[in-house]
Structure 1
Amino acid sequence: MSELRRVLQPWQVLTGGICGLVLTIGLARFAYTPLLPSLQAQAGLTDAGAGGLAAINYAGYMTGALATAWIDDVRWRHRMYSMGLWLAIVTTAAMALTDWIPSWALWRFLGGLCGAAGMLLGSGLVLGWLMRQGRRPELGVFFMGIGLSIVVTALGSWGLAQLWPLWSFQWLALAAVGLVFFIPAWRWRPPVPPQVALESLAAPTVSKRWLLTMAGSYFAAGWGFVISATFIVTMVEREPALAGKGTWAWALVGMAALPAVFVWDRVARRIGDTRALLLAFGLQTCAIVLPVLSGSLAAALVGAVGYGATFIGIVSLTLALVGRRSPNNPGKAMARLTLSYGAAQIIAPVVAGAMAQATGTFHGALWVTAGVMAAGMALLASLPEEQLKN
C-alpha cells in the first residue's frame, strides 16, 4: 500500500491513466475493429458472428459496470483497475490461440471487463485524485487515451499486417506492443487516499428526471458509438472504390479524437455541458449518415473524422458531469449511468450485424443509428432550462 501512496505528479497520474486506456480500451476492445477483416477473410467469421462477438465484449463491459456500480471501497476499486491492466494483455494474446468461436467469446467477454476497469474505475480514480488535489475536475486529458488507443491499434495492425499477414500473429504482436504501455500504466496508477477504507455515496444533486434523461441519452450515445467502433473498417473495405483504406479511416478516427478532448472541454465551459452535448450529438449524427449519402473516399474520411471528434466529447462530458455530482465516489456514479451505454453496445452490434448479413450492406443499420441518435438529442433538449446551464 505504501507504493500506492507515494507522491505522484499530475502529469504522471494522467499519463498512467492514458496508458491504462490504451491497454483496457485499445487492446481489449479496439484491436478487434482493424483486425476484423482478417478474422473474416482468414478465419471465416461471418457478419452476424462479428456482431455477436462485439455484443459479448460489451456484455463483459456491462458486467463490469454493474460490479463497479456497487463497489464503495476505494481499495477494491483500485485492485480491480490494476487487474484490468494485465488482463488486457492476456486476453489480447489469447485471441491468437484458437479460431474456436466459444473461446473467442470468452476472451471478448473478459476484454469487456477490462474496458469497464479502464473507463469507469480508471476515470473515477483519476477524477477523484484531481479533485482531492484541487485541480480542475475535467477528464479531457485523460480521455486522450481513447484517441491514442485507436491510433495505436490502427497503425499497429496495419504495420503488423505487412510483417505477419496471418491473423493470429497480429494478435500476439499487439499484445507485445501493450507491454510498452503497461509499465507507466502500472507505476503511475492513481494513488489510494491515505486512511480511506470506505467511501460513502454522495447525495444526489440532481432530480431523478435528470438522471433518467441522461441515462436515455447515453443509451443513444452508446448505440452511435458502437456501430462505427465495431464495423467502420469493414464498411469502408466493402466499398469497391475504398478497398484497402479501412485501416486508414480507423486511424483518422483516433487522430480526430486526440485533440477533440480539449476542444469539448472548452466548448462546455463556454456554452454549458448539456448544450455542448447537444452539439456533439448533432455532429456525430451527420458523420454517421455521410457515408450512406456518398460512397466516395472523401465522405468516408470526413465521416471518420466527424465520428472521432464527437464520440469522445460525448463520453468525456457525460462522465465528468455525473462524476462531479458525486465527488465522494465518482466511479460508482459513472458506472450506474454507463449501464445504459453498455446496454446499447450489447444490442446495437447484433442488430447491425444481422441487418448487414440480410441486406449485404450496412446502410440500413446506419440509418437506424442516426434515428437513435436523434432520439437521444430530443431527450437532452427536454431537460428543464435550469439544467441546460449546468
Structure 2
Amino acid sequence: MPNTASAPLLHNVQRVKVLSAGIASLILMIGIARFAYTPMLPLMQQHAGLGVAQGGWLAAFNYAGYFCGALIAANISDLAKKDRLYRLGLLVALATTVGLGLTQNFWLWGLLRFFSGLSSAAGLLLGSGLVMHWLLRHQLRSELGIHFIGMGSGIFFTALFVYLVAGQISWQQHWFWFTALGCLLAIPAWFWLPKPNTSGYNVGGEKMVDRPPSQQFLQTFMLAYFCAGVGYAVITTFIVAHVNQITGDHEYGSVTFMIIGLAAAPACIIWDLVARKLGNLNALLLAFVLQFTGMLIPILSPGLIWTFIGAGLFGGTFIGIVSLVLTMAGRYFPTRPAKMMGKMTLSYGVAQMAAPAAAGVLSQWSGSYQLSIIISCGIMFLGCGLIYRLRHHE
C-alpha cells in the first residue's frame, strides 16, 4: 500500500526547491550579472578609467542584450528549448561577470555587458516563465510573487558587498568575488528547477487555457511599460554616481542602492497582496504613481534623508511593477507565459537601451545627472496616465 501521507511532504519539498531555484537564478542573472554594475560604476570610473558617457553606453549595451533576449523569448513556444536556453544563461552570467575583471578594454566590456544582458533575459523571462508554468500547473498561483524576491535580494546584496569591501580589494577582485558567489547560486538554480511538463494540463487534470486581452489593451500596456522602463533604467544605472556627486561622499551612493534593494526584496509579495485586494490594474497604477514620486523626491528635496526615502519608494515599486506585469502575463497566458512576458519586455527593453545612453551623454554635457532624472520623471508621469486609461479599457 503506497504511503500517501508522504505525498504532501514531497510536494512541499519540491515547491520550496523550485522557488529557491528561481530566486537563486534571479540573484545570479539579475542581481549579479546585471545590477552589480550599478554600485561598481563609480569604482570603475575612479580606478579603471571609465568615463561618464562610457558608463551610459555600457548600460545601453547591457540593455541591448536584454532586448535581444526578450525578442528571442517572445518568439519561442517550445518549453524544452526555453529550458535549455535558461541553463545556458546561467553559464553566460558567470562567464560575463568574471570577464569584466579580466580586461580594461571598453569594447570588450561592451561585448560582455551585451551577453550579460542576454543572460538576464534568460533569467527573468525564460527562468521566470518556467517557474510560473510549474506553479500554475501545480495550482500555486498565489506564490508567483515569492519568486521575484530574487531580484530585490540580488540588488541589496551586491550593493552591500561593494559597500563593505570598497577600498579593501581592487575593482577587479570585486568581479571575481561576485563570480564565486554566482557559482554557488548556480547549483540550486540548475539542479532544483525540474524539466518542464508539456502536457498542457494542471495536476488537477484541468486544461490550462490562455485568456489574452484585446490588442488595443496590449498596445497601451506596452507603451506604459516603456515609460516605466525609462524611469527604471536611468535611476538604476546612475543613482549611485548621482548621489556620490551631490554629496561628495562615495559611501552614500552605495547606501542609497542598498536601500533600493532592501525595499525591493519583499516588494513582490507585498504587491501581489495589494493586487489581490485592489485588482491588478489598480495595484499597477498605485505602483506607477509611487515610483514616479520616489524618482521626483530627491530632485525636489535633494537632502540625504529625502534621497533615502525616495530610494525606498523607488525600490519598493519598480520591482513591483515588473512583477505585476510579468505575473499578469502569466495569468493571461498560463500555457506560454514567457511569450507575452517577452513582448512586454521588448517595450521595456527599448527604453533600457535608449535611456542610459542618452542620459550618459546628457549628463556629461550638463555636468550632472539631475537633468536626465527630471526628464525620466516626466516620461514616468506619462506612464501613470496610460495605466489610468487602461483601467477603463480592460
Range that drifts further, 107-116 or 136-145: 136-145
Gaps of 5+ in 1: 1-5
Q: How many residues align?
A: 378
- Shift in CA distance, 375/195, structure 1 to aligned 2, threshold 3 Å: closer
CA deviations over 1:52-110 (Å, ceiling 9, x no partner): 00000000000001111111111110000011112111110000111101100110000
Following superposition of structure 1 onto structure 2, how do residues 223-234 of structure 1 map, counting pairs within 5 Å? 223-234=230-241
Aligned residue for 2:145, secondary structure, equals coil
Are residues 211 and 202 of structure 1, via their aligned partners in 2, closer, same or farther at CA, if it must alter by over 3 Å? farther
2:213 paired residue number: 206
Match of 2:127 in 1: 122
TM-score norm. by structure 2 comes to 0.92
Contact 1:125 1:190 in 2 (8 A): no
TM alignment of 1:170-319, pairs within 5 A:
170-193=174-197, 205-240=212-247, 242-319=249-326
Q: How does 1:73-222 map to 2 (within 5 A)?
A: 73-136=78-141, 139-164=144-169, 166-193=170-197, 205-222=212-229
The aligned counterpart of 1:51 is 56
Deviation per residue, 1:208-250 (Å, 9 max, x gap): 0110011001101111111111111111111135442111111
Instruction: Describe the superposition over 1:270-318 as per-residue Cα deviations: whole angstroms up to 9, x where unpaired.
Output: 1111111111111111111111122211012111111100001100111
**Letter of the structure 1 residue corresponding to residue 257 of structure 2:** W
Match of 2:338? 331
Does 1:65 find its partner at 2:70?
yes
**What's the Cα RMSD here?**
1.8
Q: Distance in 2 between matches of 1:137 and 1:126?
A: 13
1:360 is aligned to: 367
Q: Are 2:133 and 2:336, in contact at CA under 8 Å, matched by a contact in 1?
A: yes
Q: Which amino acid aligns with 1:42?
A: H
CA distance in 2: counterparts of 1:240 and 1:126, whole angstroms: 42
Contact 2:294-2:309 within 8 A present in 1 as well: yes
Query: Mind listing any 5+ residue stretches in structure 2 that lack a counterpart?
Result: 1-9, 201-207
Q: Which one-letter code corresponds to 1:189 in the other structure?
A: L
Once residues 76 and 193 of structure 2 are traced to their aligned partners in structure 1, the CA distance between those partners, rounded to angstroms, is 18
Alpha-carbon distance change, 280 to 190 in structure 1, aligned in 2, over 3 angstroms: farther
Compared with structure 1, are the counterparts of its residues 106 and 386 closer, same or farther at alpha carbon in structure 2 (3 Å cutoff)? closer
Tell me, yes or no, if the aligned pair for 2:228 and 2:380 is still in contact at 8 Å.
Answer: yes
Contact 1:131–1:137 (8 Å) recurs in 2:
no
Structure 1 residue 135 displacement after superposition:
1.1
* Secondary structure of residue in 2 paired with 1:62: helix
Give the corresponding residue for 1:3.
none
Partner of 2:44: 39
In the alignment, the residues of structure 2 paired with residue 112 and residue 336 of structure 1 have an alpha-carbon distance, to the nearest angstrom, of 16
Shift of 1:129: 0.5
**2:251 match: secondary structure:** coil
Q: CA deviation at 1:203?
A: 5.6
Distance 1:268 1:363 in 2: 33
| Alpha-carbon distance between aligned partners in 2 of 1:203 and 1:251, rounded to the nearest angstrom | 38
Residues in 1 aligned to 2:308 and 2:247: alpha-carbon distance in whole angstroms: 15
**Residues 241 and 297 of structure 1 are in contact (CA less than 8 Å); yes or no, is this contact kept in structure 2?**
no
Q: CA deviation at 1:185?
A: 1.0
Offset of residue 260 of structure 1: 1.5
| Percentage of identical aligned residues | 43
User: What is the alpha-carbon distance in structure 2 between the residues aligned to residue 190 and residue 17 of structure 1?
Assistant: 11
Scaled by the length of structure 1, what TM-score is found?
0.93
Shift of 1:137: 5.2
Q: Is the deviation greater in 129-138 or in 276-285?
A: 129-138
- Any idea what SS the aligned residue of 1:130 has? helix
